[in-house]
């Protein structure tokens, strides 16, 4: 366990060093544009699976959290011009509050009812933002990027690195939850909430914890998006595509292990980027759907499940 | 250790539970002294499971209080009650299906174990294995909970309950649907647990098991206590016979 931890942090450090090196070496802007989106989806998928995977509460409201993250940043930037780090931290705080509210919802709603409620919440929040003139309303808002900071010579490169840091943060949190008593408690309540409660698991507290962390990460992931596009509008910030992608990436990767959503997000994110460039941005939605159907039918436990199955078969063969 | 002078471990006073217009429990009061093997019987729908849901906290009750070890626990959520020492098994087994037998027990040890005895991970594993050994499930430790037979599942439920370090164990029809040799097996297990100062409430339809096990028996009918006393007294009670056999 300890050695695993060391490997994990070495891997994380190498990943960040690699990202930093990329910003210093590569001159072309496109890789950063593309990789930023993939990194963003890793954060969203990992955050989604903390609630949807570990606790089994399927949240269709990823786009609500993402959009609120975007608009928290937009509002703060327009009102005060605070730096990006503050925008992200504020978005995380707002996301945590939203997550708390979502967690209270689990008291009364489970299964499909919870999922439907999250879709409803998304629509309500989007409608509210659409009617908020200060942040641009339905027509959206143009944003002027501020000057870029020291080691980076381009704003997108900086955003790319910031998102890479968030990936490490999200994965580290998810991994910690999985390996700790929180993870065991969430797994128990996912299997059977009443039995978990009667075995001493504080189900409500754990669900609230999962919702708060998941919500904070999703909102934080959305905060830099406004600066990335230099533009924000409700229809794209609250696009259902974020919800579907985060869910699909987690399920395709497998929710039983923290690495699942990472694998799923990289696989689907890269595919989407390739398709967007080579065919069209509409086809990637279709491909997402087809892949999700294929995995649900052929490998319901996702890629992680496939790997485990192969491993256990090999072990049986040896034993 | 005269039972008259001893404070009850569990005191249920004037408990009433209604579901809409239906009264499942009607003004039920009973004291259970520590260490007693208590049998709870009654025809289907008489309120037995409702009563234990009220004791374990799955249902909230309005009129009435539940007192455990001199503490009013009426308003406490189930997981706190579990930590106070009330454990239960379920009528239809509810294992954590994604886990192995060992992991099922570890949930109890992680969240409700006696922290004065069990502090480290090694302690927890040791405690887990000792419970499994006692329950005769040691060989199944690393088997998925979905792969267990019915009797193993029942035993695992009791083992998981034991992992929470209970002072009161409620067994909700742990023997339903088992063969007679399996019934004896589970009964012996419950007897051996009762010998270790665990108070046990056993709900059961199998009369021989109730008669053999219980020191005191209570019979519910339509949410009311119709008889309480030694097994022989209750069995010879006119109303109990009517409730079970009809008039």
Q: A30-83, pLDDT tens digit by residue?
A: 889 899 999 999 999 999 999 999 999 999 999 999 999 999 999 999 999 889
CA angle B99, B162, B103 (to 5 degrees): 15
A308 in B contact zone (CB under 8 Å): no
pLDDT digits (tens, 9 = 90+) for B194-222: 888 899 999 988 888 888 899 999 999 98
Say if residues A316 and A275 touch (Cβ distance below 8 Å).
Answer: no
pLDDT at A247: 92
pLDDT cut 70: percent of chain A above it = 98
Confidence of residue B2 (pLDDT cuts 50, 70, 90): very low
SS3 B58: coil
A202 in B contact zone (CB under 8 Å): yes
Structural domain of A79: 2-242
The average confidence (pLDDT) of chain B is 89
Q: Indicate the DSSP class of residue B145.
A: G
Residue B94 to residue A192, Cβ atoms within 8 A: yes
Residue B106 to residue A188, Cβ atoms within 8 A: no
| Residue A169 belongs to some domain of the structure | yes
Query: What is the nearest CA distance from B166 to chain A, expressed in angstroms?
Result: 10
Which parts of chain A fold into alpha helices (H)? Answer: 2-25, 30-49, 62-79, 84-105, 111-130, 155-179, 181-191, 193-197, 203-222, 225-229, 234-237, 240-253, 259-278, 283-298, 302-318
Q: Which residue of A has its CA nearest to B96?
A: A191
Average pLDDT of span B134-141: 90
A203 in B contact zone (CB under 8 Å): yes
The question of ipTM being above 0.85 is answered as yes
Distance CA B190, CA B199 (A): 10
Q: Which residue of A has its CA nearest to B112?
A: A200
Total domains in chain B come to 1
Q: Which residue of B has its CA nearest to A185?
A: B107
pLDDT at B96: 94
Q: How many CB atoms lie within 10 A of CB A5?
A: 12
Spatial CA neighbour of B238 closest among B230, B229, B226? B226
B143 in A contact zone (CB under 8 Å): no
Question: What DSSP element (H or E) covers B170?
Answer: strand B168-172
Dihedral over Cα of A255, A258, A260, A264: its sign: positive
Residue B83 to residue A187, Cβ atoms within 8 A: no
pLDDT digits (tens, 9 = 90+) for A145-162: 888 877 888 889 999 999
A190 in B contact zone (CB under 8 Å): yes
Checking if the pLDDT of A262 tops 50, the result is: yes
B125 in A contact zone (CB under 8 Å): no
| Residue B141 belongs to some domain of the structure | no
Q: Is A134 exposed, middle or buried (0-12, 13-18, 19+ CB in 10 A)?
A: exposed
Q: How many CB atoms lie within 10 A of CB A208?
A: 19
Question: What DSSP element (H or E) covers B220?
Answer: strand B216-221
Checking if the pLDDT of A219 tops 60, the result is: yes
Residue B96 to residue A192, Cβ atoms within 8 A: yes
SS3 B67: strand
Say if residues A197 and B87 touch (Cβ distance below 8 Å).
Answer: no
A300 in B contact zone (CB under 8 Å): no
Spatial CA neighbour of B158 closest among A191, A181, A199, A201? A199
Distance CA A30, CA A248 (A): 25
| CATH number, domain with residue B78 | 3.40.50.300
| Residue A252 belongs to some domain of the structure | no
Name every chain A residue with its beta carbon within 8 A of the beta carbon of B94: 192, 194-195
| Residue B237 belongs to some domain of the structure | yes
Write the Ramachandran bin of B47: left for phi over 0, alpha for psi from -120 to 50, otherwise beta.
left
- Give this prediction's pTM: 0.90
| Residue A177 belongs to some domain of the structure | yes
Strand-pair partners of B67: B11, B72
Assigned token pair, A27: 């001159």
Spatial CA neighbour of A193 closest among B105, B84, B112, B96? B96
Cα A103 versus chain centre, distance: 17
Structural domain of B88: 2-93+165-245
Distance CA B163, CA B125 (A): 11
Residue A191 to residue B97, Cβ atoms within 8 A: yes
Distance CA B189, CA B171 (A): 12
Checking if the pLDDT of B122 tops 90, the result is: no
Name every chain A residue with its beta carbon within 8 A of the beta carbon of B106: 184
pLDDT digits (tens, 9 = 90+) for A163-210: 999 999 999 999 999 999 899 999 999 999 999 999 999 999 999 999
| Residue B69 belongs to some domain of the structure | yes
SS3 B16: strand
Total domains in chain A come to 1
Name every chain B residue with its beta carbon within 8 A of the beta carbon of A201: 79, 107, 111
Checking if the pLDDT of B5 tops 70, the result is: no
Query: What is the nearest CA distance from A187 to chain B, expressed in angstroms?
Result: 8
Distance CA B152, CA B31 (A): 32
Residue A196 to residue B96, Cβ atoms within 8 A: yes
Residue B90 to residue A202, Cβ atoms within 8 A: no
Name every chain B residue with its beta carbon within 8 A of the beta carbon of A198: 56-58, 78-79, 82, 87-88, 90
B84 in A contact zone (CB under 8 Å): no
Checking if the pLDDT of A5 tops 60, the result is: yes
Confidence of residue B225 (pLDDT cuts 50, 70, 90): very high
| Residue B128 belongs to some domain of the structure | no
Strand-pair partners of A135: none
Cβ partners under 8 Å of residue B57, min gap 6 = A197, A198, B73, B76, B77, B78, B80, B81, B86
Spatial CA neighbour of B158 closest among B115, B188, B119, B179? B188
Residue B97 to residue A184, Cβ atoms within 8 A: no
Distance CA A252, CA A260 (A): 8
Checking if the pLDDT of B115 tops 80, the result is: no
Distance CA A146, CA A81 (A): 9
């Amino acid at each position: 366990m300890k050695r695993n931890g060391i490997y994990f942090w070495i891997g994380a450090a190498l990943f960040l060093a690699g990202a930093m090196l990329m910003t210093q070496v590569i001159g072309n802007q496109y890789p950063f544009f593309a990789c930023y989106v993939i990194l963003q989806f890793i954060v969203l998928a990992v955050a989604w699976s903390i609630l949807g995977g570990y606790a089994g509460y399927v949240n269709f409201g990823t786009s609500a959290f993402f959009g609120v993250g975007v608009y928290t940043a937009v509002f703060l930037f327009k009102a005060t011009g605070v730096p990006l780090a503050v925008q992200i931290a504020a978005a995380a705080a707002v996301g945590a509050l939203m997550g708390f509210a979502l967690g209270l919802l689990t008291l009364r709603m489970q299964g499909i009812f919870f999922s439907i409620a999250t879709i409803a919440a998304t629509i309500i929040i989007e409608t509210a933002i659409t009617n908020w003139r200060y942040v641009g309303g339905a027509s959206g808002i143009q944003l002027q990027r501020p000057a870029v900071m020291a080691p980076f010579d381009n704003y997108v490169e900086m955003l790319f690195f910031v998102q890479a840091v968030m990936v490490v943060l999200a994965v580290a949190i998810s991994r910690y939850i999985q390996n700790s008593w929180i993870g065991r408690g969430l797994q128990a309540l996912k299997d059977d909430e009443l039995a978990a409660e009667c075995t001493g698991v504080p189900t409500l507290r754990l669900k609230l914890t999962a919702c708060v962390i998941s919500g904070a990460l999703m909102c934080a992931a959305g905060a830099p998006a406004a600066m990335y596009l230099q533009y924000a509008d409700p229809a794209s910030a609250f696009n259902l595509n974020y919800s579907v992608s985060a869910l699909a990436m987690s399920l395709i990767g497998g929710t039983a292990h923290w690495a699942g959503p990472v694998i799923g997000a990289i696989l689907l994110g890269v595919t989407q980027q390739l398709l967007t460039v080579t065919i069209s941005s509409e086809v990637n939605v279709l491909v997402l759907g087809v892949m999700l159907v294929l995995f649900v039918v052929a490998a319901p436990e996702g890629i992680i499940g496939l790997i485990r199955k192969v491993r256990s078969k090999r072990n049986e063969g040896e034993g | 250790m005269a039972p008259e002078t001893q404070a009850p471990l569990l005191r249920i006073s004037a408990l009433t539970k209604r579901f809409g217009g239906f009264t499942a429990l009607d003004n039920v009061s009973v004291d259970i002294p520590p260490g007693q093997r208590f049998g709870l019987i009654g025809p289907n729908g008489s309120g037995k499971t409702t009563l234990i849901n009220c004791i374990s906290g799955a249902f909230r009750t309005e009129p009435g209080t539940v007192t455990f070890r001199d503490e009013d626990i009426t308003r406490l959520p189930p997981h706190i009650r579990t930590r106070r020492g009330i454990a239960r098994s379920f009528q239809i087994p509810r294992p954590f299906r994604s886990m192995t037998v060992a992991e099922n027990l570890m949930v109890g040890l992680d969240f409700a174990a006696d922290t004065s005895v069990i502090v480290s991970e090694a302690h927890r594993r040791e405690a887990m294995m000792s419970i499994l050994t006692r329950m005769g499930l040691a060989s199944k430790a690393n088997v998925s909970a979905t792969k267990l037979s019915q009797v193993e599942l029942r035993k695992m439920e009791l083992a998981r309950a034991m992992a929470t370090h209970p002072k009161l164990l409620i067994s909700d029809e742990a023997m339903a649907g088992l063969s007679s040799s399996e019934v004896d097996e589970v009964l012996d297990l419950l007897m051996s647990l009762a010998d270790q100062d665990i108070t046990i409430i056993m709900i059961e339809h199998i009369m021989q098991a109730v008669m053999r096990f219980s020191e005191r028996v209570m019979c519910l009918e339509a949410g009311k206590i119709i008889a309480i006393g030694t097994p022989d007294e209750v069995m010879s009670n006119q109303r109990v016979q009517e409730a079970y056999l009809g008039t």
